[in-house]
Amino acid sequence: MNIIKKQNILISNPETKDFLADACYPETERQLPLVIFVHGYKGYKDWGAWELMAEKFAAAGFFFVKFNFSHNGTTIHDPLNFGDLEAFGNNNYSKELSDLGVVIDYFSKNPHVDDEKIVLIGHSRGGGISIIKTFEDERINGLITLASVDSLDRFPREEAFDHWKEKGVYYALNGRTQQEMPHYYQFYEDYEQNVHRFDVERATEMAKAYLLIIHGTEDEAVEVKQAEHLHILNPNSELFLIENGNHTFGAKEPWTDLTMPQDLNKATEKCIDFINKNLK
């Protein structure tokens, strides 16, 4: 099977700014289900083994898209590094939901796509964003979370919060790049102004799409109990736990192997089976 790859497609969002997306799909005459991967905090489309995951989805007969949020800190000229920390500091959930909506609009019009079969796969914070978008956008038929948060209220507490409000910025260390990554106080203000919209628990309860929740039992960043909580909120969902799996299912940056780590491969195969069972 011939796999077509289109990388660094320029996407324009007048509400935010330009960003990049990749598409990976098999060469075929038929229209394919659209699967959109939504990265998480300090993530980006080219991180780790996401490209190998894209290839596996394409080989299974899907039109797979991954993209960079416009304010994730990368740039259209250098999508592999956090070269725009000012943009990173000015990111917020409203911007991410806007970007995701633009991605859905853009690729659902592609002639190779069946726009009645749209699936979101959200990793970590991207899972929370994907849950909210699925509740808001009835075009989305399937939702898969990978190591997802169960709340977007993930801000500093008490003294640290007061310091953030007073100074207008707090910094988080990126352990891999050693960059001090800013978060401007507007991030919290945006959350507070849209607190009902950003209610992941309510969106999980109300979402009508088929829902698969995948989580590693040894996730060091988002505890597995958050996956169990999402499953309780939506009893029609399917919970799939990967024994001893970590937050990135064994992947890391850079990923130089030619195959996916075992846990990510297991998660990807489960995703493919779930979509085939419910949407194809």
Q: What's 1-20 look like in SS3?
A: CCEEEEEEEEECCCCCCCEE
The answer to the question of residue 52 being in a domain is yes
Location of structure tokens 């953030």: 164
Mean pLDDT for 70-98 is: 98
Expressed in percent and rounded to 5, the helix, strand and coil fractions of the chain are 35, 25, 40
- On average, the pLDDT of the chain sits at 98
Determine the average pLDDT of the residues in 104-114: 98
Q: Answer whether residue 46 is part of any domain.
A: yes
pLDDT in tens, 195-251: 999 999 999 999 999 999 999 999 999 999 999 999 999 999 999 999 999 999 999
Domain-located, residue 180: no
In a domain, 53, yes or no: yes
Q: Does residue 174 belong to any structural domain of this protein?
A: no
Provide the pLDDT for residue 1. 84
Q: Give mean pLDDT, residues 113-130.
A: 98
C-alpha–C-alpha distance, residues 251 and 228, integer Å: 23
pLDDT in tens, 167-187: 999 999 999 999 999 999 999
102-125 mean pLDDT: 98
pLDDT-derived band at 280 (thresholds 50, 70, 90) equals confident
Strand partners, 36: 65, 120
- Residue pair 249/221 in contact by the 8 Å Cβ criterion: no
Residue-range definition of the domain harbouring residue 257: 3-157+197-278
Percent of the chain clearing pLDDT 90 (strictly above): 99
In a domain, 187, yes or no: no
With H, G, I as helix, E, B as strand and everything else as coil, classify residue 257: coil
* Domain containing residue 10: CATH number: 3.40.50.1820
Count of domains observed in the chain: 1
Alpha carbons 35 and 62: distance in angstroms, whole number:
7
pTM, to two decimals: 0.99
SS3 67: strand
* Helices and strands in the chain, H and E counts: 9, 10
What is the rounded CA–CA span in Å between residue 147 and residue 109?
29
Give the model confidence (pLDDT) of 122-171 as tens digits: 999 999 999 999 999 999 999 999 999 999 999 999 999 999 999 999 99
Q: Which tokens in the block code for residue 37?
A: 């991967």
Does residue 190 belong to any structural domain of this protein?
Answer: no
Residue 130, domain member (yes or no): yes
* pLDDT surpasses 90 at 271: yes
